Amino acid sequence: MKITIIAGARPNFMKIAPIIKAIKKAQAAGKQMEYRLVHTGQHYDTKMSGTFFEQLGIPEPDINLECGGGTQAEQTAAIMLKFEKELLAHRPDLVLVVGDVTSTMACTITAKKLCVDTAHVEAGIRSGDMTMPEEVNRIVTDSICDLFFTTSEGANAQLKNNGIDDKKIHFVGNTMIDTLLQNLDRIKKPDFWDTNQLKEDQYFLVTLHRPSNVDDPEKLASILSAIEEASMDFPVVFPVHPRTRQIIDQFKLNKKKMLMIDPQGYLEFMFLVKNAKGIITDSGGITEEATVLHIPCLTMRNSTERPETITLGTNELIGDDIHKLKPGIQKIIDGKWKKGTIPPFWDGKTSERIVHILGNVDALKNAGPVKVKSDLSA
């Protein structure tokens, strides 16, 4: 089987790394399986892309489509135009997409237009928030894919509710957790750790990048002030996303008690996650890693596509209400946060399950036709 693997943005890199490793393991065992790695260039600088490839042992892409920048529509169109040429030149048996970024949706549409089968890793997750570009990407991708690899029973139920045939749905677990567990013994202190006299379990970690939290400078200023005040004497480490950095610099929103640093490599960032007293974020993936590492996590969003991090894990939603930050952070400081458990199949073996299924060509041939109902239907 010939597989084209798509990676475009930072969250994708942690998801494809263990899949490629599992494919190589299958090849060594004599499995007839080839892969071609396509980087769309959605995240293209060293801090958001290159460092992750190097640290996670991801091979150089066979091609980089160089589709960084532009609006959502411009980037989608650019990816589709260039990926079509890639598929015409190197037609695979299957296109494998991961996650919910623009590249995921754009490459799925392009492949299906050329009658190439597609598989979606992390299928079926939904936030219910159509203002999030990722939610649109998820719905479109899942409505036309051929194989669905899921992270939770909730995702399975979502796909079945949309009319996806059971034979196409495979509950395999979470590839992000594969990467985490495979690299836990490699995580390392960031360069700034010692110079700032940081200590384990004695700081809060913050990540903010969603437009709803960072594009309005007044709102962002209020959030940062609330975090600074609520964290009391504990330092706050804040790896700043490029879009957030623009607002902070433009409106001079730096905080004395916050250590605002550049985006970190995977190994350095996981060190910060593992050793934090608590995390304040608006990300989705970090809530999964925090759950597995048993780190308290406050998510500044009104909905989540990863409810298992709340029902089973260490995550709690507080929406965009800054008044909920102080009691939440105080609860962490007081040691009264819930302990949480690890969701099923988040055991580091997800990628092996995926590759085993992909190695069975009948998984595609025998899957019945899909009768899809829209997520938006009543």
Average pLDDT over residues 141-157: 98
- The catalytic position among 39, 43, 170, 209 is 209
**Predicted confidence (pLDDT) at residue 10 exceeds the cutoff of 90:** no
Instruction: Give phi and psi for 248, each to the nearest 5.
Output: -60, -45
Q: How many CB atoms lie within 10 A of CB 316?
A: 18
The closest of 243, 250, 312 to 282, measured between CA atoms, is 243
**Predicted confidence (pLDDT) at residue 375 exceeds the cutoff of 80:** no
Q: Buried (b) or exposed (e) across 298-314, using 16+ Cβ within 10 A?
A: bbbbeebbbbbbbebbb
Q: Is residue 180 part of a domain?
A: no
| pLDDT classification of 368: cutoffs 50, 70, 90 | very low
Q: Is residue 341 part of a domain?
A: no
**Predicted confidence (pLDDT) at residue 46 exceeds the cutoff of 70:** no
Q: Is residue 71 part of a domain?
A: yes
* pLDDT tens-digit map of 54-98: 999 999 999 999 998 899 999 999 999 999 999 999 999 999 999
* Residues 136, 28 share a domain: yes
Q: Is residue 66 part of a domain?
A: yes
Q: Is residue 291 part of a domain?
A: yes
pLDDT at 360: 85
pLDDT at 89: 98
Enumerate residues 6+ apart whose C-beta is below 8 A from 94: 1, 2, 3, 4, 116, 117, 118, 119, 146, 147, 358, 364
**Predicted confidence (pLDDT) at residue 37 exceeds the cutoff of 90:** yes
* Residues 298, 265 share a domain: yes
Q: Is residue 310 part of a domain?
A: yes
Average pLDDT over residues 22-43: 94
Distances (CA, A) of 314 to 1, 150, 309, 327, 338: 39, 21, 6, 16, 6
pLDDT at 370: 42
**Predicted confidence (pLDDT) at residue 291 exceeds the cutoff of 90:** yes
* Residues 128, 104 share a domain: yes
Poorest-pLDDT segment among 191-195, 229-233, 255-259, 360-364: 360-364
| pLDDT classification of 377: cutoffs 50, 70, 90 | very low
pLDDT at 47: 60
Enumerate residues 6+ apart whose C-beta is below 8 A from 92: 2, 3, 4, 36, 116
Q: What's the chain's average pLDDT?
A: 93
pLDDT at 378: 31
Q: Is residue 370 part of a domain?
A: no
* Residues 228, 146 share a domain: no
* Residues 300, 219 share a domain: yes
Whether residue 132 contacts residue 102, with contact meaning beta carbons closer than 8 Å, is answered with no
Q: What's the total number of domains in the chain?
A: 2
* Residues 361, 309 share a domain: no
Predicted TM-score (pTM) of this structure = 0.93
Quick one: what percent of the chain has pLDDT higher than 90?
Answer: 87
* Residues 142, 18 share a domain: yes
**What is the distance between the alpha carbons of residues 30 and 247, in angstroms, rounded to a whole number?**
52
* Residues 230, 128 share a domain: no
**Predicted confidence (pLDDT) at residue 121 exceeds the cutoff of 70:** yes
Average pLDDT over residues 228-256: 94
**Predicted confidence (pLDDT) at residue 50 exceeds the cutoff of 80:** no
* Residues 76, 205 share a domain: no
Average pLDDT over residues 119-133: 96
Q: Is residue 181 part of a domain?
A: no
* pLDDT tens-digit map of 296-310: 999 999 999 999 999
The closest of 104, 102, 136 to 122, measured between CA atoms, is 104
* Residues 361, 314 share a domain: no
Catalytic annotation present for 209: yes
* Residues 219, 70 share a domain: no
* Residues 56, 155 share a domain: yes
| pLDDT classification of 369: cutoffs 50, 70, 90 | very low
pLDDT at 372: 46
Average pLDDT over residues 119-139: 96
First to last CA, the chain: 39
The closest of 308, 305, 304 to 291, measured between CA atoms, is 308
User: Taking the mean position of all CA atoms in its chain, how far away is CA 291?
Assistant: 14
Q: What residues make up the domain containing 253?
A: 189-333
Greatest alpha-carbon pair distance for the chain in Å reads 60
| pLDDT classification of 49: cutoffs 50, 70, 90 | low
Instruction: Give phi and psi for 288, each to the nearest 5.
Output: -70, -45
* pLDDT tens-digit map of 161-211: 999 999 999 999 999 999 999 999 999 999 999 999 999 999 999 999 999
Q: How many CB atoms lie within 10 A of CB 171?
A: 17
Q: What CATH number is attached to the domain comprising 112?
A: 3.40.50.2000
Find the angle CA(49)-CA(51)-CA(55) to the nearest 5 degrees. 125
| pLDDT classification of 45: cutoffs 50, 70, 90 | low
* pLDDT tens-digit map of 202-234: 999 999 999 999 999 999 999 999 999 999 999
